């Protein structure tokens, strides 16, 4: 039997409670945001990669975001415009239209001409290569109040640099395959096979460095049956690398006499040293190279930092090698672009998730408050320089982004 507050009105106590003023329930969930993404065609003749593959575009389109590509932007990586159209992208042939989008992503650093096309208060993403950029680039981005993210600064949840690591893995592996080409008769090399067979001595490969690039070069050379020697300045890093590779390797610190002796019998030398400002610009002297075997091969992956061979000179994909003292030198700064399709997939897998996270968080401002990895990737926030290294490089005052987050 129901209990009534007033028999004459016929209202129960529970019903009366419903009529009383209730506490307002505020929506505290995230406000998801949809945005437009522009992908211009790369103008650097040696850059064949693209930031998003058709599969990534399909994923973003299905989540409400719009993607606009400049015509033939993916052609160098063998992604056709029709593939992007089928994935939901719009293809345009006007660079001005591309640079009107909320987020513009590319591979090579933005040029002055490209920055001029930006509308202002947008998000841009690309490699930066700070040492090779003029101060004008940074100042123009600041003037347009751009929020800029550099791929080489982005971190993941494990405090790694995912894009840098992926490109390092590709460069290390590909360097051995390139060396194998120039060791063969195809490019007038010695006519030797990288590795070895029964009854024939294996190829001797020297790897300078012990980072990710060096590790993957070592893994690939070992997998092909070569004899590998690894040199580095730090015994601890050499020990760690040997543990990761899982095989006993010939390792040594950079002792000039020991290195010179090893170079005299080497068929391939891979330069994958992470150059530091207080170190010399080269590890291998010209005199050491003069004593190497004729038609041996040098691959200087460190060329983008100045090179670790005294005889190194920057080359391009269209003219990748030169011969000095009878030794073949390959000094292309962007080896990953040689396998552009694979490299594009690697970059796209990371960037597509960043794009989804930006939308899911309700915008870049909300994401960088909760995602320290993306926050680390930002070097300009809303026109304010936030990267101390770049600030010292160009003499521009930089502000701590963590403090800025408290103000915005």
- Residues tagged active-site: 129, 304
H or E element at residue 149 = strand 147-150
CA nearest to 305, candidates 230, 182, 213: 213
300, 312 contact by CB (below 8 A):
yes
Bridge partners of residue 69, in order along the sequence? 39, 91
- Two tokens, residue 157: 């949840």
Three-state SS letters, 232-268: ECCHHHHHHHHHHHCCCCEEEECCHHHHHHHHHHCCE
Give the H or E element holding residue 56: helix 54-62
Buried b (16+ CB within 10 A) or exposed e, 350-384: bbbebbebbbebebbebbbeebebbbbbbbbbeee
Please tell me the distance from the alpha carbon of residue 302 to that of residue 131, in angstroms, as a whole number: 14
What is the DSSP secondary structure assignment for residue 103, as one 8-state letter?
E
What count of other Cβ atoms lies within 10 Å of the Cβ of residue 230?
26
Best CA proximity match to 171, nearest among 337, 331, 344, 52: 337
Sign of CA dihedral 68, 54, 42, 348: positive
SS3 content of the chain, % helix, strand, coil (to 5): 40, 15, 40
Quote the CA–CA distance of 258 and 383 in Å, as a whole number. Answer: 51
């Amino acid at each position: 039997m129901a209990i009534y507050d007033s028999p004459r009105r016929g209202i129960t106590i529970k019903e009366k409670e419903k009529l009383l003023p209730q506490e307002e329930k505020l929506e505290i969930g995230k406000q998801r945001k949809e945005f437009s993404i522009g992908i211009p065609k790369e103008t650097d003749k040696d850059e064949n990669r693209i930031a998003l593959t058709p599969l990534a575009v399909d994923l973003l389109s299905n989540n409400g975001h719009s993607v606009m590509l400049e015509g033939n932007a993916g052609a160098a990586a063998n992604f056709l415009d029709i593939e992007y159209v089928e994935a939901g992208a719009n293809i345009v042939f006007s660079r001005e239209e591309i640079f009107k989008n909320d987020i513009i992503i590319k591979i090579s650093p933005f040029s002055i001409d490209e920055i001029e096309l930006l509308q202002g208060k947008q998000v841009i993403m690309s490699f930066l290569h700070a040492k090779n950029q003029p101060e004008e680039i940074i100042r123009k981005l600041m003037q347009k109040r751009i929020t800029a993210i550099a791929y080489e600064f982005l971190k993941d949840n494990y405090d790694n640099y995912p894009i840098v690591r992926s490109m390092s893995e590709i460069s290390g592996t590909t360097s051995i395959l390139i060396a194998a080409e120039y060791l063969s008769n195809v490019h007038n090399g010695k006519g030797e096979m990288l590795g070895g067979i029964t009854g024939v001595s294996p190829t001797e490969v020297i790897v300078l460095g012990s980072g990710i690039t060096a590790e993957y070069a070592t893994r690939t050379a070992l997998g092909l049956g070569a004899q590998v020697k690894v040199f580095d300045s730090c015994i601890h890093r050499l020990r760690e690398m040997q543990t990761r590779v899982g095989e006993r390797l010939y390792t040594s610190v950079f002792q000039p006499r020991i290195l010179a002796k090893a170079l005299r019998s080497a068929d391939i030398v891979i330069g994958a040293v992470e150059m530091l400002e207080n170190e010399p610009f080269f590890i291998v002297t010209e005199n050491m190279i003069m004593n190497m075997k004729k038609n041996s091969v040098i691959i200087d992956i460190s060329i983008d930092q100045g090179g670790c061979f005294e005889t190194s000179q920057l080359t391009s994909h269209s003219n990748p090698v030169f011969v000095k003292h009878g030794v073949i030198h390959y000094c292309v700064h962007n080896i990953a672009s040689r396998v552009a399709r694979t490299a594009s997939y690697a970059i796209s897998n990371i960037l597509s998730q960043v794009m989804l996270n930006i939308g899911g968080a309700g915008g870049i401002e909300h994401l960088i408050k909760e995602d320290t990895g993306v926050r680390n990737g930002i070097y300009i926030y809303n026109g304010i320089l936030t990267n101390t290294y770049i600030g010292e490089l160009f003499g521009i005052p930089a502000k701590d982004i963590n403090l800025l987050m408290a103000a915005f």
